[in-house]
Structure 1
Amino acid sequence: MSDIDAQFAQVQTDVTQLSERPGNLTLLRLYALFKQASAGDVTGDKPGFADIAGKYKYEAWSALKGTPPDDAKRQYVELVESLKSGASA
């Protein structure tokens, strides 16, 4: 397991133990980075009008299209670390 893979695995646990729940935009960013890091580019059809949350998740993930998984992992780790330190919300 590479260093970034180990860090990525660790912050997946850390993010569930944050003292404060991040805002919705930060949660979308976390979701999109996680999906890009673990599954690659977005797949499937964009959710319809009635699935608003699904639509926003799809769009956030789609915005990262072409981002290499290791880059997405690094960005995810950096975001979680900043949340742990209270630098962003």
Structure 2
Amino acid sequence: MTSAEFDQAVDAVGKLTDDPGNDTKLRLYALYKQATTGDVDGKRPGFTNPVGRAKYDAWAKLEGTSSDQAEADYIAEVGKLTGA
């Protein structure tokens, strides 16, 4: 159900040469998951898994966002990184 533009943006992220930083990577992760899976489910990881916890929290902030909106936001975010 993903659009070609979304697929191109996902591909572009894999080809980035500069590290966009943890905040941006978390936002992209959350938008990708929201677009492809929907609202977060499952248990929040414990304090012994800070990376998993950060990912879960970033995704949970997008709860209720439609997959179409998450796709559009992801494409826009990648556009900022690539200058497209």
Distance in 2 between the 1:22 and 1:10 partners? 18
User: Any gaps of 5 or more consecutive residues in structure 2?
Assistant: none
1:11 maps onto 2:9 in alignment:
yes
How far does the alpha carbon of each residue in 1:55-78 deviate from its partner, in whole angstroms, 9 at most, with x for none?
A: 000000000000000000000000
User: Any gaps of 5 or more consecutive residues in structure 1?
Assistant: none
1:70 maps onto 2:61 in alignment:
no
Distance in 2 between the 1:67 and 1:53 partners? 23
Please report the RMSD computed on the Cα atoms of aligned residues, expressed in angstroms.
1.5
How far does the alpha carbon of each residue in 1:5-61 deviate from its partner, in whole angstroms, 9 at most, with x for none?
A: 111011111111113111000000000000000000001000011000000000000
Distance in 1 between the 2:16 and 2:29 partners? 15
Structure 1 residues 20-35: aligned runs within 5 Å: 20-35=18-33
TM-score by length of 2: 0.94
Distance in 2 between the 1:34 and 1:52 partners? 20
Letter in 1 for 2:34: Q
Letter in 1 for 2:53: K
Structure 1 residue 83, shift from structure 2 partner: 0.2
Distance in 2 between the 1:55 and 1:45 partners? 10
**Which 4+ stretches in 1 moved above 6 angstroms?**
none
